[in-house]
Amino acid sequence: MDKTMDDIIREGNAYACIQCGRCTGSCPSGRECGLRTRKIIHMARVGIDVFKTEELWDCTTCFTCQERCPKEVKITDIIIELRNLAVKNSYYPSMADVPKIIIQNLYRTGNGQPLSPEVSKLRSIIGLDKEPNDIAKDKEALADFQKLLDGLPLMRWGGI
Amino acid sequence: MDYAFFPGCIAKNVYPGIEKATRIVFEKMNVGLHDYPYSCCPPPGVVACYDKDTWYALGARNLALSEPDNRDIMTICAGCYGTLHNVWHELQHNDAKRAYVNEHLGRIGMTYKGTSRPIHFVDLLDGMRDTITQNKEVDLDLRVAVHYGCHYLKPTTVTGENSESPMLLDEIVGLVGCKSIPFKDRLTCCGAGGGVMSGEPELSLKIMERKLKNIKKADVDCIVNICSFCHMNFDQSQKKLESFDIPVLHLNQLLGLAFGVKHKHLGLHMNLVSTRDLVKKVKGAKKGRDEE
């Protein structure tokens, strides 16, 4: 179900934006870096391929902008969709190596954050099972999970 | 009361004290927690931002696991809750997406019905205030900075919460004798989400540093959170920044202390920021109570 730029703008109600800047003023990340949510919405509307900009990846997806928007523009939803579009068009930010490792861990163990031998030891010290009673332990469930993932778009777009 | 228990990968695989504290506290309150072969939620910051359809399908797999037992799913992390609740909500309203998800789950012999709802544990606690009070053995008498976690509160079109002035967590800590201290920008993001902590650690740390400076001014005994992912960020970032030493407790660890559980059983000694002074203070409160 691939979305075009036009779908993203329409579904996200971006045409309602009055460029007031309340989103940028509310952004905890924009205080510390070059992310300007107002500008991203503007660029998207006027047809610039904003999914190519690296600032898109500075958003922590806290949804404060979306909550405070007086015109109900779904700003955070738009940013997430633009990231999806970026990934599909191979515009990964240069720093995306770690997210890739997380995706590889997800495939290998069923968890983005896998268990380490150190934490396994800590678990038993406080009286928990050494290994959590989850997918990583249940080999059959893990095999099914991998089969599920194999047929899903992430493995294609994620470049794994 | 019985729930499917979704610990999430941080509580399982990084801060097991949170998982342990949750099991102890809920057992004391007579809530049965059941394990399922869950994958991680999957993470909203990495999986949803890379491919939303994959996020829906993997989230639906987790949601479907306890459907045959008619069990709702209790989460202890705002990130897990964000994923599971948003996926559930979307699939309630979007038939095309539900069909898509079921087409994929069908490949591994599963079906998603949407009959098991995700619930964040703090919402569960909201209806158990008397039980909390009954289990309380120590009035903690701590000054705490509470942190809600963005994806517990927002987007409010999905969560139904009040994202600008929530009070639930403040009230819950109050039940065990803690005072929630106001601080500047108390509801802002900790900086971990959206894949920023993994993708741009320096930016994430800057957001956190500003937050910690505001908390430090409030002169609190500890930070109390309801999100394992924020918990990890608060604890690990203080170690990196070197200029802060504010202990970080998940709410279930705080409740554990109030219920008289030994701090080592709650994994408090496994935090990077020392909890020693805090534990000493709580022991003092307990001793005072015993002597009365």
Residue B120 phi, psi dihedral angles, 5° rounding: -80, 135
Q: Which residue of A32, A128, A132 is in closest CB contact with B203?
A: A32
On whether both A57 and A33 belong to a single domain, the answer is: yes
Structure-token pair, residue B128: 């158990």
Mean residue pLDDT of chain A comes to 92
Other CB atoms closer than 10 Å to residue B269's CB: what's the count?
15
On whether both A54 and A74 belong to a single domain, the answer is: yes
Largest CA distance in chain A: 58
3-class secondary structure, A31:
coil
Residue B224 phi, psi dihedral angles, 5° rounding: -120, 125
Contact residues on chain A for B265, CB-CB shorter than 8 A: 126-127
pLDDT digits (tens, 9 = 90+) for B167-211: 999 999 999 999 999 999 999 999 999 999 988 999 999 999 999
Q: Which residue of B40, B150, B198 is in closest CB contact with A111?
A: B40
Q: Give me the residues of B, 226-255, that contact A with CB < 8 A.
A: none
3-class secondary structure, A147:
helix
CA nearest to A141 within chain B: B37
**DSSP readout, chain B?**
-EEEEE--HHHHHT-HHHHHHHHHHHHHTT-EEE---------IIIIIHH-HHHHHHHHHHHHHTTGGGT--EEESSHHHHHHHHHHHHHHHH-HHHHHHHHHHHHTTT------SPEEEHHHHHHTTHHHHHHH-------EEEEE--HHHH--HHHH---SSS--HHHHHHHHTT-EEPP-TTTTS--S-TTTHHHH-HHHHHHHHHHHHHHHHHT--SEEEES-HHHHHHHHHHHHHH-S----EEEHHHHHHHHTT--GGGGTGGGSSS--HHHHHHHHHHHHHHHH-
Q: Which residue of B10, B53, B198 is in closest CB contact with A152?
A: B53
Nearest CA-CA partner of B193 in B160, B149, B224: B149
On whether both A81 and A132 belong to a single domain, the answer is: no
**Per-residue model confidence (pLDDT) at position A91:** 83
On whether both A84 and A9 belong to a single domain, the answer is: yes
Where along chain B do the CATH 1.20.1050.140 domains lie? Answer: 2-121
SS (H, E, C) B62-106: HHHCCHHHCCCEEECCHHHHHHHHHHHHHHHHCHHHHHHHHHHHH
Identify the sign of the CA torsion B198, B200, B202, B203: negative
Instruction: Please report, as a single letter, which amino acid is at residue B159.
Output: T
On whether both A115 and A149 belong to a single domain, the answer is: yes
Q: What is the mean pLDDT of residues A85-99?
A: 76
Instruction: Give the strands of the sheet with B179-180, arranged side by side.
Output: B179-180, B143-147, B222-225, B248-250
Nearest CA-CA partner of B93 in B162, B160, B163, B158: B158
On whether both A37 and A83 belong to a single domain, the answer is: yes
Domain count, chain A: 2
Contact A98 B198 (CB under 8 A): yes
Nearest CA-CA partner of B55 in B91, B11, B108: B91
- Rg of chain B (C-alpha set): 19
Q: Which residue of B7, B46, B194 is in closest CB contact with A112?
A: B46
**pLDDT exceeds cutoff 60 at B277:** yes
**pLDDT exceeds cutoff 80 at A158:** no
**Per-residue model confidence (pLDDT) at position A149:** 96
pLDDT digits (tens, 9 = 90+) for A67-89: 999 999 999 999 999 999 998 88
ipTM computed for the complex = 0.96
3-class secondary structure, A14:
helix
**pLDDT exceeds cutoff 60 at A94:** no
CA nearest to A132 within chain B: B12
Using the CB atoms, write b or e for A88-112: b if 16+ within 10 Å: beebbbebbeebbebbebbbebbbb
Domain that residue A26 falls in: 5-88
**Per-residue model confidence (pLDDT) at position B35:** 98
- Of 3.40.50.20, 3.30.200.20, 3.40.50.11810, 3.30.365.10, the CATH number of B137-291 is 3.40.50.11810
- Rg of chain A (C-alpha set): 20
Q: Please state which CATH number belongs to domain B2-121.
A: 1.20.1050.140
On whether both A79 and A134 belong to a single domain, the answer is: no
On whether both A122 and A152 belong to a single domain, the answer is: yes
Instruction: Please report, as a single letter, which amino acid is at residue B221.
Output: D
pLDDT digits (tens, 9 = 90+) for B3-25: 999 999 999 999 999 999 999 99
Residue tagged 């829906």 (tokens): B56
Where along chain B do the CATH 3.40.50.11810 domains lie? Answer: 137-291
Contact residues on chain A for B20, CB-CB shorter than 8 A: 126-128
Contact residues on chain B for A63, CB-CB shorter than 8 A: 150-151, 154-155, 163
Mean residue pLDDT of chain B comes to 96
pLDDT > 70: percent of chain B: 98
Q: Give me the residues of B, 45-104, that contact A with CB < 8 A.
A: 45-54, 57-58, 61, 96-97, 100, 104
Q: What is the mean pLDDT of residues B61-74?
A: 98
Q: Could you tell me the pLDDT band of residue A99, with boundaries at 50, 70 and 90? A: confident
**pLDDT exceeds cutoff 90 at B263:** yes
**Per-residue model confidence (pLDDT) at position A95:** 52
Other CB atoms closer than 10 Å to residue A14's CB: what's the count?
19
Distance CA B140, CA B175 (A): 10
Q: What is the mean pLDDT of residues B54-70?
A: 98
pLDDT digits (tens, 9 = 90+) for A109-150: 999 999 999 999 999 999 999 999 999 999 999 999 999 999
